[in-house]
Structure 1
C-alpha cells in the first residue's frame, strides 16, 4: 500500500490520504445519519437506506379535534409531554372545538380524522357520521341552572321560561330529561340555541332564565355571579342508573376504512395517556391548564363530575356489552328529542376492535 502511494503524483497522494481519512471517519462515527445514507454520484439525490425509510414512514399525522376540558384536552397535553404519541409513530395535529357537532362537520370535510365528543353528540355517530372507538368517562358534568331572579326552583318551574343551551350537546339531553321528569315537553319552554360562550354570557347577564351547560363553564359562571345566585335543577347523575353519559373518541368512517392500523396505534397512545392521567391526576391538571389556559381550579372541580374509564375497564365494557346498552339508551333520548327518527343497533357505530387489541400484550 505504502509503495503504491509513493509512486503517485503529489496531488494524487493527497487525494488518496484524504479518502482514507473520510473512510475511517465514517466507520468510526456513532451518528445514525452516516449509517443511514450511502454515497451517490455527483448531482444525484442521496440514496436512502431501508433503515432510514423505515424511520421516516413511522411518523404519521392525525388531525385530532379536542374540547378544552379534562376529558378532551388532558390526553393531548399528557401525550405530547410524555411522548406517548411519538412512541406510536403519531404526530397529533390538535384542533380546538367547543362542542361535538362542529367536530363532525370537520370530519365530513376531511379536516379532522378523530375527535373527542361528549354524550350529546353521539347521535351523529348513530346517523353514520362517525365510529366510536374508545371511551373516556361517564359524566355528570352537564347541569341545568336557573337564575335566582327567575324564581325557578325546580324542573316544573321552567314552563314558559327561556333556557339557553348549545343544541346537540349533552347539556340539552339533561334539560330534556328534566323536562320529561316534570311532565313537560321541550315545546313548553322557550329553548334558545346558543354557542357555549353565548350561553355563559346570557346567563351571567340575566338574558335567559336558565342555562344547560357543563363543567368547566359552570365553574366560570359561579366565579362571576356567586354560587348563591345559581339555582341548580339537576345534572347527569339525577338520571342514573337508567341513563349513563359516556364521552368518547370518534373516528371518521373514511379514515377508519383507509387507515385501520393507524387507528389502532392511536388507541394504544390514548390508553397510555388515560392510564397516566388517572394515576397522576395532579400533574394531569397542571399540564392541561398550561395547554388550554383554563385555570387549574376550574379543571380540578371538573374531576368530581366524571367517572374515568381506564384502558382495562374500556375493554371490559366493550366486551361484555355494557357500552352497547349505554348507547342504546342514549339513542332512545335522541329519538324523544327528535335527533333520531329511530333507534339503530349500536354495534353499527361502535367499533370495539382497536380498543380491545390495544390492551393485548
Structure 2
C-alpha cells in the first residue's frame, strides 16, 4: 500500500512539473512575441558627398536611426536618374537627389519629402588645351555631362544666357566618373559636373589646366538649386510612418552636420572613401539650413517655388511637357511631423 502511495505521489509530482514547464513556456513565448516587434529596414540611395551621405552616416554613428526605431541599408549611386530607376523597380525606398533630377519627381516617380541644402557646386569646366575661355567658346565643342543632373541643368542655363542652343554643342552623356576621366585624358573639351568631382579634376590636372566657365551662383537669385530627399511613391503610400521615422533621424543628423562640419567631413570620408580635402571644398559650395528652417521653407511654400522654378528649365530643355503643381510631388507635412515627434 505504501509502495502504491509512493508511485501515485511520484506520478502527481511529475505531472505537476510537466504542466508547470508547459505553462512557463507558453508565458515566455507570449511575452517574447509581444516585446519583439520586427524593426523595419529602409533601403536608402546615397551619393558619396557631404549632402547625400553625411546625414546618413551621422544618423548611423549617433544612433538616430536606432532611436527612431528603424534600420537602414545604404546603396551608393553617383547621380539621380539611376536612383529613380531603382525606385521604379522596387529596390530603393528613399533617395537623395541633386537639383537636376527634380524633373523625375515632377513626373510622379518620387515624392520630395525634405530639402537637404542649397547647392552652389555645379560647374562647367573647360580644358586649358581646348582654348575655350567663355561659354560662347563651347560652340561646336564636345562636352561630357551626365544627362538629367544638376550639371546638365547649369550647362543648359549657361548656354541659354550665352545665346547658344543645345544643338550648338556636342553633348556626350556619360556618368560622372567617366566625365572626370574624359576631362583628364583630354577626350572632351569641357564637362558639366559638380563638387567634389570638380575638385578631383583640379587635383589631377592642376588649377592652371582647367577653366571655370560657369557655376550655380551665376544664376542666383532667379534660380536656386535645392538638393532633396525623395521617397518611392509606392513605399510612401504603404509605409508613411517609416518615412516619418527616417525624417526624424535625418532632422537630427542635419542639425549635427551643420554644427560639427569637421566631424561630418571625417565621418563621410571614412564611409565613402572620398578624401577630406574634396569634402571640405564641397562644404564651401553648400548653403546648409537648420531642420526648423527646412520645415518652415517647405510649409510656407518657399521650397515649392524653388522646385516649380526649376521645372520651367526642364520644360525648356524638353525633360518635362509642362510645369506641374508642386503639391503633386512635394509632401511638406511629413518633415514637420517628424520634427514634432
Tell me the TM-score normalized by structure 2: 0.92
2:34 is matched with which residue: 50, 53, 56? 53
Matched, 1:307 2:287: yes
- The 2-side partners of 1:346 and 1:54 are apart by 42
Structure 2 equivalent of residue 27 of structure 1: none
What is the CA deviation profile of residues 200-228 of structure 1, one whole-angstrom value per residue up to 9, with x for unaligned ones? 00000001000001111111100000011
Of 291, 306, 327, which aligns to 1:326?
306
Match of 1:39 in 2: 25
SS of 1:359 mapped into structure 2: helix
The ranges of structure 1 where at least 4 consecutive aligned residues each deviate by more than 6 angstroms after the TM superposition are none
1:161 aligns with 2:141: yes
Alignment pair present for 1:192 and 2:172: yes
Aligned residue for 1:39, secondary structure, equals helix
Matched, 1:100 2:80: yes
Q: Given that residues 111 and 329 in structure 2 are in contact (C-alpha distance below 8 angstroms), is that contact kept between their aligned partners in structure 1?
A: yes
| 1:162-311 → structure 2 map (5 Å cutoff) | 162-311=142-291
Change (3 A) 1:336 1:38: farther
State the shift of 1:310 in Å: 1.9
Q: CA deviation at 1:48?
A: 3.1
Q: TM-score, normalized by length of structure 1?
A: 0.87
Helix, strand or coil at the partner of 2:132: coil
Query: Which of the residues 113, 122, 135 maps onto 1:142?
Result: 122
Aligned ranges 1:9-48 → 2 under 5 Å: 38-40=24-26, 47-48=29-30
Cα distance in 2, alignment partners of residues 296 and 47 from structure 1: 50
Equivalent position SS for 2:340:
coil
Name the Cα RMSD after superposition. 2.1
Offset of residue 319 of structure 1: 1.4
Secondary structure in structure 2 of the residue aligned to 1:137: strand
Alpha-carbon distance, 1:54 to partner: 3.9
Q: For residues 156 and 129 of structure 2, what CA distance do their matches in structure 1 show?
A: 22
Contact 2:299 2:333 in 1 (8 A): no
Structure 1, unpaired ranges of 5+: 1-6, 24-36
Q: Please state whether the residue corresponding to 2:144 is helix, strand or coil.
A: strand
In structure 2, C-alpha distance between the alignment counterparts of 1:128 and 1:109, rounded to whole Å: 14
Q: Is the partner of 1:317 in helix, strand or coil?
A: helix
Contact 2:258 2:288 in 1 (8 A): yes
